[in-house]
Structure 1
Amino acid sequence: MTVHDERALLEERLNRALRERIRPALYGDSTPVELSVWHAPGEPVPVAEALAATYEPARVGDAWGPPWSTSWFRLAAEVPPEWEGRQVEVVVDLGFTHPGPGFQAEGLAYNASGEPVKGIEPRNTHLPVSGSSVLYYLEAAGNPTILDFEPFVPTPLGDKETAGTEPLYRILRADLAVFNPEVWHLVTDLQALQGLMKELPQHEPRRHRILHAIDRSLDLLDTQDVAGSAASARSALVEVLSRRANASAHRVSAVGHAHIDSAWLWPLRETVRKCARTFSNVTALMDDYPEFVFACSQAQQYAWMKEHHPAVFERIASKVAAGRFVPVGGMWVESDTNMPGGEAMARQLVHGKRFFLDEFGVETEEVWLPDSFGYSAALPQLIKLSGSRWFLTQKLSWNQINKFPHSTFWWEGIDGSRVFTHFPPVDTYNSSLSGEELARASRQFAEHAVATRSLVPFGYGDGGGGPTREMLETAKRVADLEGSPTVTIETPAAFFQGAQDEYPNAPVWAGELYLEKHRATYTTQARTKQGNRRSEHLLREAELWATAAHLSFGSPYPYDALDRLWKTVLLHQFHDILPGSSIAWVHREAEATYARVAGELEGIIDSSVTALAGEGKADLVFDAVSSTARATPQAAFVAPVGGVLDNGLLRITVSDNGLLTSVYDIGARREVLPPGAVGNLPQLHADTPNQWDAWDIDPFYRNNRVDLVDGEVTALPDGLLVRRSFGKSTITQTLRLAEDARQLDIDTEVEWQEVEKLLKLAFPLDVRAEVSTAETQFGHLHRPIHVNTSWEAAKFEICAHRWLHVGEPGYGVALANDSTYGHDVTRTTRDDGGTTTTVRLSLLRAPRFPDPQTDQGTHRFRHALVVGAGIAEAVAAGYRTNLPQRVVRGSREVEPLVAVDNPAVVVEAVKLADDRSGDVVVRLYESLGGRAHATLRTSFPVQRVVETDLLERPLADTSVDLELRPFQVVTLRFTR
């Protein structure tokens, strides 16, 4: 028999013994509890209402749980006198449909006083018993299993409006049972050794010793009396479990964690309950394991506990004070970082860090984003400006093509700022501390030659309940075990400080952390993205005009409303909401929320500009870009002559089917379109990614393309109207050219009824561009257009904010947008030797999972083709496209609150200080990527100017004369 055969036989023996003999013996004597049920009508109810409800008799086997419903089970029992002195637990199986730790039925148990005790999940099914009587109320959530073994099958279960009413579950167990600790410890012993043995090389003597010890342990186990023989079976394992780790073993910092998506395959309201269940588990577990430390990000989730579950929040606060429950992340939610605007990204850090400071007195120093879909190159500067020092991510392990080369490194942003960054080589943020995972962490750690430590977050996420007692027992066994990395449970800050002290000269990665997967998240669920973009700019306007109205006329500043509205928008930037990868229910609610946000912000803006304008009949143009109001007529659009729009600067020729056949720059005497090419060309692709429907665009989508050239053109007094039909869908576009503009404005309406299709809008350009330049937060990013290496080839779909620019020395073209993020840029060499650079905007997709009706319906987009543009013109067009002017009747013109004498320096935010002192806060940045001197002028008297961090805390006294480095962000606080 070979060594491999011997191991295989032992694996079979051990697995069967665990499955059929040992685990079933975890509980000995048992008796059913008295079970009754109340099925709550509609949405979840407070515990007080459930305690007062009328319960009906129930029994094991009863069906319960229509999709998204709630059933309350009352569990009552008397502990048999003969069990006195033994460990007794209530064991509940709600009918868990598969062994996964989350994504299905879950429960939260309350005691008779309505206080939460702990959660019930598939791998955490027990409730504690103390005393002779038991009474629990179990709030059971009938959440459907949407992500199953075939996760990409379209399902109506993603919205309560389409999910149906048939019960999904049957309660399978509700017992009072005697827990056998010795059996439980035997299971933990065997699993720890089994995982380690799997990872040891065949020639390693340690592996054979473990194999022999397990074999001997099973020999000593009496399968007819597992509980009685468990101690004997454990004795055979003592020697192999007591051998200490090698002196040069990799060091793991284990951090308890429970990654809880703030919405994904469940709505926001269910996340509140997932958090309550998990945090109840965690705080209860801390009472039994004093070494246990749990790291939790997302201030929004803490705020939900404070509002909806104050008892849980009190327990959290107590454990935070003890240093056991550790706030991390410093953000309001674990947001997407590709698409939020600069000010929104700053406010994620402001509101997150301020919550932890106000509630707990804790200054978080780690930005914790394990699961977001790529990371903007603007983040390092914002992290530093928020007062944080470190960054953690895990998601880059999902790269399709290139393996990220570092585990620990300095990440350099677009302005040169660097943050110490860790990419845990364990490749999961839901570890169970298994031998396989720990061995993987050691094997994949990239810096063994110069560093020794990595971080492992352990615990079941997304409703799985977080860390378990089994994991903490495993941590004890692998803390110092031969053949394994050493494991120390400690805080993220302890890990980061130790890692940085050990490895201060870590390598540098400059630029974005591009995820080579989930590229479709720049496009999916266009209405959600449009709601976010519009909300960001309305918030800018609301703060600006409310500040002006307050300073000029004493109008009340809407502190509370703006705080609440910002937090609402920040919540919806969570990395499964804004990217479009949540169920239909989430996006349906998001659209309604954005509409309410817009309505309230429009109200704030209207009241502010009305106060500023005063009484009168003049048409005042309020311009949020320049922060002024002037009695200036808005620019008129030229009338078409045939299919030509000509304003003396540009001559745009449109064919009879509505395509651009010429874009001629009159001053430069240059044709922008390549010979024979057409622009503003809609193109339709088959879109069937290999795996994650809402998330992914795979490169083979380019193999199948239909150019939508058929169309008809109608002349309007101020432009041209183009209509196209294809499949079951239509596109209607209005093309306009303002009298004094160097840009073609394109308003597009799509009635979209396609399935598994991708709609792009193509603009081939006669420029030889080496790079594309895309706006990101507070600056821009250059990306090579060539595909010399696999790293460039992998970026076949890229993210841009309000504009994307391509050019050659002396001449460029920009495309600005009001809500489009996905782009691709390619180039070809023509027969005449010239180069065509083609920019395409991704408008719409139609994946079927997790929302089978993704993006069906009407969509409106605004784009601008900016001709002869440098970066400065691209920046200006981006702001103009997203901040349309407002016309208000009145008599008073408005001077800007803050003016800057250098156009390279952009004022991004003007507001009153969050501490309600009346100070004015101004955030500005250098936008062109060069050095800039700027002098600020204010229209209000100033006593003192202080530079602050993002949280408006003073850094240094300064003046209105500034020297800015490329892309530097500066926050100034003006005391009046």
Structure 2
Amino acid sequence: MFLTEEKLEARIHELSEHRYREAILIPKFRFLADEKGEVGARLPETKEWGEITVGDYWRGRDVYAWLQADIDIPKQWMGKEIVGLFDFGKTGGGNNSGFESLLYLNGVPYQGVDSNHMEVFFPKDAAGSKLSLTFRLWSGLEGGGIPRSQEHKIKRAEVAWLDEVIDDLFFTGKAILQTVKILDRHSPERQLLLSLLDRAFRQIDWSKPKSDSFYHSVAIALQILKDELKKMEKKHPVTVRCVGHTHIDVAWLWRLKHTREKAARSFSTVLRLMEKYPEYIFLQSQPQLYEYIKSDYPEIFEQIRKRVAEGRWEAGGAMWLEADCNIPSGESLVRQLLTGTRFLRKEFGVDCKYLWLPDVFGYNWALPQILKKSGIHTFMTTKISWNQYNRMPHDTFWWRGIDGSEVLTHFITTPEPNKDWWFYTYNGVITPETVQGIWNSYRDKAINQELLLSYGYGDGGGGVNREMLEMRRRLNDIPGLPNVETGRADEFFERLHKKIKETDQYVHVWDGELYLEYHRGTYTSQAYNKRMNRKMELLYRETEWMGIVSTMLNADWSHYPFEQLNEGWKIILRNQFHDIIPGSSIREVYEDSKEEYETAEKYALSAWENLSKSIIIQQEESTVTVFNSSPWVRTDFIRVPVTAETKKGIWKDGSGKELKAERVGDHWVVLVEDVPSLGFSTIRFYGEESGNTLAQTDLFHIGSSEMTSPHYKIKWNDKGQITSIYDFEAKREVLDDGKCGNVLQVFEDKPLRFDAWDIDIFYQEKKREVEDLRRVSVKEITPLYAIVHFEWGYMDSSIKQDMIVYAHSRRIDFKTEVDWKEQNQLLKVAFPVKIRSTLATYDIQFGNVKRPTHWNTSWDYAKFETVVVLCQENGHVKQREIAEF
């Protein structure tokens, strides 16, 4: 009736600007375009500055500029909180289109200033001195989509002193009013708080703002609030433990070079806030970011070290960075942990025991085993709450891995500000809605009454700001809400372990993968990166194995390329970040990634060449040493160039056994048998000797639409689709009745939200097949193998494929090259086989996982797209169960 809440909201908003008193305007700045845009740039020394005035615009895409001004701080401000207020413009919504800047105070990096952090508190002794303010501004990018210039207006630049009484009343009033809005309308605390706030704000004399009577009345209002709040006893069984955090994507809507600057801005802001708020505790994961800071801004890094030593800056998280956990190999995930924990131990003396992965798109079943063997006993994420169909039944539970290992797992349940989303967030703000909402959402209240709230603007937003810290102080005193206290994540997890150990309640176990029912398109987007990741994983493994062999043979570690390989591995690990390897970043990120992979490849190939020279003694052209870096005995083909000495003859192994070989053009194709695991075999060419000759027609017969090998009879139709694969040994048809294999299928790929991220379940409603077969030919036919080549056209795209069958192996390879030029279309290939199974077994890191082939429940059909890490033995993909989806 009296619009009390609306009235109070208006008065609190009006009070906000009165906090800053006797403001001194900075009407203009010296301006200098930063043409180079270098990482870690230092103050420019040129005298050729231009000028920019408050109210002017500055424009550009991914451009830097310097603003510089000097200001005299009045002596009479001695003892007051001196604050700068700066707003350099924002083009659109979100955290990605606003200005970002690093302020240098008197020539030294001081604080990040951006659209979420527009206040700068200067040192206590600034009164009576001249301050030199230099801002390095970055325009930002468009945040994805069509590249466009950003337009920013220099809106505000002034220095004032903070009226701490008005500031206190502003935040206290805001905290109480927000609490009133979320409490139950019948709650007694709600009525008491609303009445108290209204009574206090009635004391303010608005007749002449900025007058002595106005300031006096504000002090009276504040005293009333504080006195009455003290009388309201707060007893609440729940504690929300707040830890500051800035989730910095190492690359996403910006490039790696931008991340290095974001880290400098964000971390310097943390350091300044810690000076003002002694209770402030901040957590930063991803040692990659610390390494950037150590290299680019060593003075900031040393300040971080001091805060880590005193316990207020928590360097944790374990992994080198927040890596994707589905696409990288098990070896890579181990190295993520090994590289990350080593850095934390070396630079900060920290022994991290928890994995912090708030924003990764699903977690493979081998992860608990990897964690336990790495000394990690706790796992935290938030992203699983983004499931499309199903909410996980528990938020604190034991996650049991592939070998039975268990890690205590905790989900942060902070609600998103957008009430229409059921997602939880790792970029929380501290409001009554979040501190109450995190408890309301939590599903395991019987075993735990303390929750962890990670707060701070993330995804490049710069982290915690002063408002969050002020609000936390006040919410902790307001009845009707959980206790709101600060704390470290590692100490929270230790207490959680203790509670789980002592509880008499059942603690649930999740035995299986943590599949994210979202962002399924990230298994296929940016295929080049996924291919190069796997190629580098294998290359570096083989190079390291070669290094060990060299060291053992020569009894000398001095030539092992430690530094070279470690730097290469860091490139691999960096590009496994959960927005790089999944394919969910902007185009420029993949330009950088391509260069990085090329560098990593050069490192490994250079090391390989040097190491091989120390292993392989000089040998005749007729002798070849074949290495097998696999952990299994291997039989496979090698190709050996034909030389003057090896034009005609036979190949034999070390025991004198003749090897199956065929000269194909300018190469010999030799089938080398039973090369020992992690070992080698030597084969030799014997010229002019004649061996057993295998007639091609005895092994392979190829017609216009069918072929016969020692193992199969294969038929195809005029579309290039396989109509039959008859297995001679099993005496059965492999393909399902009436269905074809090797069917190239194209689906309309238009998801509801994120184009590069998502494949939605309805994509299957619109399907067409690639039927324009333009060519079929016999590419090669030898006594060892045969290759049939297919070529198709589809709209503006082309597809080339080699079907390879072997004499020595039952394997059939389909080597496919696709030049894809289509938009919003998804290409797949189908092999419907004649096997009935309700489960399919997929290889994953260090093992395998079974997934349903049916859609009985929402948990089943949610997995309509899944990922597999291929495992090979003897060069064969291991056949377990095969199923049609």
SS at match of 1:442: helix
Matched, 1:410 2:456: no
Paired AA for residue 792 in structure 2:
R
Deviation at 1:202, TM superposition (A): 1.3
Matched, 1:691 2:696: no
Q: 1:99 to 1:290 in 2, by over 3 A?
A: farther
Matched, 1:197 2:180: yes
Paired AA for residue 627 in structure 1:
L
1:640 to 702, 707, 711: 702
Comparing 406-415 and 496-505, the one that deviates more? 496-505
Deviation at 1:434, TM superposition (A): 0.5
Matched, 1:140 2:137: yes
2:484 to 474, 484, 487: 487
1:664 to 705, 726, 751: 726
Structure 1 portions without partners, runs of 5+: 148-153, 158-165, 806-810, 816-824, 826-836, 840-976
Paired AA for residue 703 in structure 1:
E
Distance of 1:387 and 1:571 partners within structure 2: 22
Question: Aligned ranges for residues 277-356 of structure 1 at < 5 Å?
Answer: 277-356=265-344
**What's 1:709 paired with?**
771
SS at match of 2:831: strand
2:600 to 597, 616, 636: 597
Distance of 2:300 and 2:700 partners within structure 1: 63
Comparing 268-277 and 128-137, the one that deviates more? 128-137
Question: Aligned ranges for residues 9-158 of structure 1 at < 5 Å?
Answer: 9-19=3-13, 21-33=14-26, 35-44=29-38, 46-52=40-46, 54-97=48-91, 100-101=94-95, 103-112=97-106, 114-129=107-122, 130-131=126-127, 132-146=129-143, 154-157=145-148
Distance of 1:37 and 1:799 partners within structure 2: 51
Q: 1:127 to 1:55 in 2, by over 3 A?
A: farther
Indicate conservation of the 8 Å contact 1:103/1:463, yes or no: no
**What's 1:438 paired with?**
435
Distance of 1:240 and 1:413 partners within structure 2: 53
Question: Aligned ranges for residues 413-432 of structure 1 at < 5 Å?
Answer: 413-426=401-414, 427-432=424-429
**What's 2:828 paired with?**
760
Paired AA for residue 625 in structure 2:
L
Matched, 1:801 2:869: yes
1:358 to 346, 358, 380: 346
Distance of 2:515 and 2:174 partners within structure 1: 37
TM-score, with length taken from structure 1: 0.78
Distance of 2:540 and 2:205 partners within structure 1: 69
Paired AA for residue 199 in structure 2:
R
Per-residue CA distance 1:603-655 (angstroms, 9 max, x = gap): 32233334433322123333322333334599999673443343312332233
Q: 1:529 to 1:442 in 2, by over 3 A?
A: same
Comparing 614-623 and 562-571, the one that deviates more? 614-623
Deviation at 1:106, TM superposition (A): 0.5
Deviation at 1:565, TM superposition (A): 0.6
Question: Aligned ranges for residues 154-165 of structure 1 at < 5 Å?
Answer: 154-157=145-148
Distance of 2:407 and 2:228 partners within structure 1: 42
TM-score, with length taken from structure 2: 0.86
Deviation at 1:142, TM superposition (A): 1.0
Matched, 1:512 2:513: yes
Indicate conservation of the 8 Å contact 2:70/2:133, yes or no: yes
1:676 to 738, 752, 773: 738
**What's 2:209 paired with?**
225
SS at match of 2:37: coil
**What's 1:457 paired with?**
454
SS at match of 1:124: coil
Q: Which one has a bigger Cα radius of gyration?
A: 2
**What's 2:388 paired with?**
400
Per-residue CA distance 1:83-114 (angstroms, 9 max, x = gap): 444332221111133574555321111122x3
Indicate conservation of the 8 Å contact 1:196/1:439, yes or no: no
SS at match of 1:692: coil
Paired AA for residue 508 in structure 1:
V
Comparing 549-558 and 241-250, the one that deviates more? 241-250
**What's 1:585 paired with?**
588
Matched, 1:188 2:239: no
Indicate conservation of the 8 Å contact 1:121/1:463, yes or no: no
Deviation at 1:370, TM superposition (A): 0.5
Comparing 301-310 and 636-645, the one that deviates more? 636-645
Deviation at 1:803, TM superposition (A): 5.2
Indicate conservation of the 8 Å contact 1:103/1:143, yes or no: yes
Distance of 2:60 and 2:177 partners within structure 1: 40
Distance of 2:55 and 2:242 partners within structure 1: 40
Deviation at 1:498, TM superposition (A): 1.1
Distance of 2:491 and 2:161 partners within structure 1: 39
Indicate conservation of the 8 Å contact 2:31/2:68, yes or no: yes
**What's 1:530 paired with?**
531
Paired AA for residue 221 in structure 1:
I
Indicate conservation of the 8 Å contact 1:772/1:804, yes or no: no
Q: 1:352 to 1:763 in 2, by over 3 A?
A: same
Indicate conservation of the 8 Å contact 2:12/2:170, yes or no: yes
Structure 2 portions without partners, runs of 5+: 415-423, 631-676, 686-693, 781-785
Q: 1:794 to 1:705 in 2, by over 3 A?
A: same
Per-residue CA distance 1:461-510 (angstroms, 9 max, x = gap): 23322122222222222224321111221111111111121123521111
Identity %: 34
Paired AA for residue 77 in structure 1:
I
Q: 1:203 to 1:314 in 2, by over 3 A?
A: same
Q: 1:665 to 1:613 in 2, by over 3 A?
A: farther
Per-residue CA distance 1:428-482 (angstroms, 9 max, x = gap): 2112211000111111111122321111011112332212222222222222432
Deviation at 1:383, TM superposition (A): 1.0
Question: Aligned ranges for residues 548-567 of structure 1 at < 5 Å?
Answer: 548-553=549-554, 554=556, 556-567=559-570
**What's 1:914 paired with?**
none
Paired AA for residue 856 in structure 2:
N
Distance of 1:530 and 1:103 partners within structure 2: 32
Q: 1:645 to 1:630 in 2, by over 3 A?
A: farther
Indicate conservation of the 8 Å contact 2:319/2:355, yes or no: yes
Per-residue CA distance 1:698-730 (angstroms, 9 max, x = gap): 111111111112313122123111111112111
Deviation at 1:13, TM superposition (A): 2.4
Distance of 2:437 and 2:446 partners within structure 1: 17
Q: 1:682 to 1:26 in 2, by over 3 A?
A: farther
Indicate conservation of the 8 Å contact 1:365/1:493, yes or no: yes
Distance of 2:533 and 2:53 partners within structure 1: 48
Paired AA for residue 836 in structure 2:
R
How many corresponding residue pairs?
A: 792
Distance of 1:789 and 1:260 partners within structure 2: 36
1:467 to 464, 467, 476: 464
**What's 2:663 paired with?**
none
**What's 1:619 paired with?**
624
Distance of 1:652 and 1:607 partners within structure 2: 46
Paired AA for residue 119 in structure 1:
G
Distance of 1:48 and 1:200 partners within structure 2: 51
Paired AA for residue 220 in structure 1:
Q
Per-residue CA distance 1:861-907 (angstroms, 9 max, x = gap): xxxxxxxxxxxxxxxxxxxxxxxxxxxxxxxxxxxxxxxxxxxxxxx
Indicate conservation of the 8 Å contact 1:649/1:740, yes or no: no
Distance of 1:715 and 1:681 partners within structure 2: 20
Indicate conservation of the 8 Å contact 1:241/1:477, yes or no: no
